Structures are given as C-alpha cells and as structure tokens.
Amino acid sequence: MRSNDIILKTTSAIIVFVILAFSVNLFLAGHNAPGGGFIGGLMAAGAFILLYISFGLKTINKILRVNFRYFIGAGLLIAFLTGVGSFVFNQPFLSHTFGYFHLPLLGKTELATAVFFDLGVYLTVIGVTMTIILTIAEDRG
C-alpha cells in the first residue's frame, strides 16, 4: 500500500535545509564554540538520511547523484594534505596556524588552517555514515 505522506515530505523539504545550515554552522563555529567537523558531519548525514526516508532511495539517488564513498577518500586526503602542507613551511607534520583578515562582507575574520583539517573530518564523517547506512539499506532492498 502506498501512503501519501505529503506532510512528511513537505516538512522534510524545509527542515533538511535548516539541518544542513545548522550542520555548516556547527562545522564553522567549531573552533570557538561547541561543534566541529565530527558533529557537523553527522548532522549533515542526518539531513541526507531524512531525505532518503521521506522520498525513498530511488528518488533521492536520481537527484543527489553523489557517491558518498568518494567523500571518505576526499576527506581523508584533505586532512592528510593539511598535515603535509606544514612541511612546505618547514614545520612539523600537522602544524596549524591562524590569522586575522579583513574580508568583504564579514569584516575582521579569523582564518585558521585547522579548518581545512576539520573539513577533512567533516567530509569523512558524512561519507562514512552515508556509506554504512545506504549499504545496509540497499541490501536486499
């Protein structure tokens, strides 16, 4: 029996963006407030899972033509390259630095290389969570 869960679909469509925004917020704020790559990544994965639950695997796979397994590799690569990057400045592995810059729109902003590392964590966590859940979900599906 196919049920028409329009309320779920409508609310999901809105809430997903809220969650994604929150996830990005968590990720970016991580250095100064609670949050960070790990939680942000899990949150983003939660948003995607909500999409899958409301609209079904086939639909979302058509829209989101993303292979989440690549996220794992990409995330690990970014995190690793961040570490290697410090060699360029003759620093030990995974040395981070930060600075304050005046950016248009945002004003005085702190930019830290640690964010790149966190980005790696973020992507890996999304990739891992999505891979696990989708693999199990698609199993005999």
Residues lying near another protein in the complex (CB under 8 A) are found at 26, 30-39, 42-43, 46, 69, 72-73, 75-76, 79-80, 83, 93-94, 96-98, 110, 112, 114, 117-118, 120-121, 124-125, 127-129, 131-133, 135-137, 139
Q: What is the dihedral of CA 113, 35, 71, 128, to 10 degrees?
A: 140
Rounded least distance, CB 36 to another protein, Å = 4
Judged by CB, which is closer to another protein: 10, or 109?
109
Judged by CB, which is closer to another protein: 60, or 121?
121
Rounded least distance, CB 103 to another protein, Å = 16
Strand partners, 102: 108
Judged by CB, which is closer to another protein: 60, or 118?
118
Whose tokens are 């909500």? That residue is 50
CA distances from 36 to 63, 108, 110 (A): 28, 21, 16
Judged by CB, which is closer to another protein: 4, or 141?
141
Rounded least distance, CB 25 to another protein, Å = 12
Distant-in-sequence, close-in-space partners of 111: CB < 8 Å, separation ≥ 6 = 98, 99, 100, 101
Amino acid at 20: L
